[in-house]
Structures are given as structure tokens and as C-alpha cells.
């Protein structure tokens, strides 16, 4: 049975103020490098699950024409209040109001760990593939399989509920330090993500796990030897050839 993983009505303000710092910095630091490496050209960008618009604004700062979509009205209100000129749409899960092949790049950060069934992840990926151009890419940012095992700068999984051998679809409790919001995410393995992508007609060009580096101004903990972040670069078979 699925649960309400994130209380957007209660925490929308806190999510809107969340900065890309601490452990969260690693989720975005290498995105420009991955885009340069795998995208042949980028004119149009979709931020799927944009939340309060942090990731959309990040993409726009990189110079891209980014459109944000999300399932939460509360989060979208926050996004629009911080980016009045931006384009944001409310969408049900896995249904997009766009034509086929509309985007060169689709970005989805911390979306799929909120999905309770692997079949729904697969369906969402099929819809993303529909609106992706043939030579486009999808960048999917999520928690790594090892996320619950480390001591991180700004994330804490130190809850008794997590002291078990996690299985696909289990819920994981975590604290985002700094805004002190407790969330419940769904646990999915690398095999789960890769399998869902392939069943959706997508291949994995790269699985990137960013590590903290010296000189970044952050007092890293376990981030220098293992990563709580997994970044998947997905594309069609023609792109991978």
C-alpha cells in the first residue's frame, strides 16, 4: 500500500527555500558536464516534477529554456512566486500536455523515489520518451542504493525504521537537515531503475554517482568515498549506438 511520502501542503515553503548546498550540491554539480557529454544539442527542456521550481531555475541559469511540470498545486504556487516569468504546468502523474518529440532534454530530480510501484515508474518513463526527441536525453536524479548506509552532511537516515534489509518498494525515512523536514521515500535499486527504463524503450548511457571533492568548501563526511546520489542518463537505442 502506498503512503503520502511528502506533505507538500505543509512543507511547500521549506522546499522552496531549500538551497543546493551540502549533500544536495552533489545532485546538481555534474549536470552541466553530463549534458555536454550526452546531449547533441539542447533547445527545449522539460523539468518533470519541478516541485517548488528549484531545479527549473537551475536549468534556466544554465541558459536553457526550461518548462516545469508538477503534480502538486502547492509546490507550483511556490515555483511561480519565485519565477513569475517562468512556465509551469500542473499535470497528473505520467500525463503530459505536450506533443510528441517536444523536448531535447528532460530532467527529473528526486521524482521516482516518491513513486510506490515500479510499473508506474515504467509508465512515466514511457510518457517521457514520447515527448523526447529521438536524439534527446533524460537525466534522472535519485537516491543511490547505498544512501541509507552513509553519514551525510545534510541528510540523515538514522531512524530505527531503516534498520532492516531493504527490499524494492520499501519506505525509507529521512531527515533533510537545515529545513528539518522528515520525508518517506520509496527504495528502488539500480536494477529496478535500469529494468524500468529498458521496458520503457530507453537505454542507460551512464550511471553517475558523484563524490565530494576537497576544495569545494564543504566539510564532507562519507560523500568522499560513497555517494547517496545516483544520476541516470537515459536515451533511445539510436542515441546509444
* Cα 151 from Cα 140, distance rounded (Å): 23
Task: Return the pLDDT at 181.
Answer: 87
Predicted confidence (pLDDT) per residue in 106-128, tens digit: 999 999 999 999 999 999 999 99
**At a CB cut-off of 8 Å and minimum separation 6, what does 8 contact?**
15, 72, 74, 75
Q: Find residue 67's DSSP bridge partners.
A: 46, 87
* Cα 137 from Cα 204, distance rounded (Å): 10
* H-run or E-run covering 217: none
Topology (CATH) of 8-240: Rossmann fold (3.40.50)
pTM more than 0.85: yes
Pairing of strands 181-186, 87-90: unpaired
Task: Return the pLDDT at 30.
Answer: 98
Q: Across all residues in the chain, what is the average pLDDT?
A: 91
Q: In the structure, what pLDDT confidence band is assigned to residue 94 with cuts at 50, 70 and 90? A: confident
Q: In the structure, what pLDDT confidence band is assigned to residue 95 with cuts at 50, 70 and 90? A: confident
**Per-domain residue ranges for the chain?**
8-240
Amino acid at each position: 500500500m502506498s503512503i503520502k511520502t511528502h506533505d507538500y501542503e505543509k512543507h511547500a515553503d521549506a522546499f522552496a527555500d531549500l538551497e543546493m548546498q551540502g549533500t544536495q550540491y552533489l545532485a546538481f554539480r555534474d549536470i552541466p558536464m553530463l549534458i555536454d557529454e550526452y546531449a547533441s544539442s539542447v533547445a527545449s527542456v522539460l523539468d518533470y516534477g519541478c516541485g517548488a521550481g528549484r531545479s527549473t531555475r537551475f536549468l534556466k541559469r544554465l541558459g536553457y529554456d526550461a518548462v516545469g511540470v508538477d503534480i502538486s498545486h502547492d509546490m507550483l504556487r511556490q515555483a511561480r512566486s519565485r519565477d513569475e516569468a517562468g512556465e509551469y504546468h500542473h499535470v497528473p502523474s505520467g500525463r503530459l500536455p505536450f506533443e510528441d518529440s517536444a523536448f531535447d532534454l528532460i530532467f527529473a530530480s528526486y521524482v521516482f523515489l516518491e513513486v510506490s510501484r515500479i510499473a508506474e515508474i515504467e509508465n512515466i518513463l514511457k510518457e517521457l520518451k514520447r515527448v523526447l526527441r529521438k536524439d534527446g536525453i533524460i537525466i534522472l536524479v535519485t537516491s543511490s542504493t547505498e544512501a541509507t548506509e552513509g553519514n551525510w552532511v545534510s541528510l540523515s537516515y538514522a531512524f530505527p525504521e531503516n534498520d532492516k534489509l531493504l527490499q524494492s518498494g520499501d519506505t525509507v525515512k529521512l531527515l533533510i537537515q537545515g529545513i528539518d523536514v522528515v520525508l518517506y521515500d520509496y527504495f528502488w535499486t539500480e536494477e529496478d531503475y535500469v529494468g524500468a527504463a529498458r521496458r520503457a524503450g530507453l537505454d542507460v548511457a551512464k550511471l553517475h554517482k558523484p563524490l565530494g571533492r576537497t576544495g569545494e568548501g564543504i566539510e564532507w563526511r562519507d560523500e568522499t568515498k560513497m555517494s547517496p546520489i545516483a544520476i541516470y542518463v537515459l536515451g533511445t537505442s539510436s542515441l546509444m549506438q
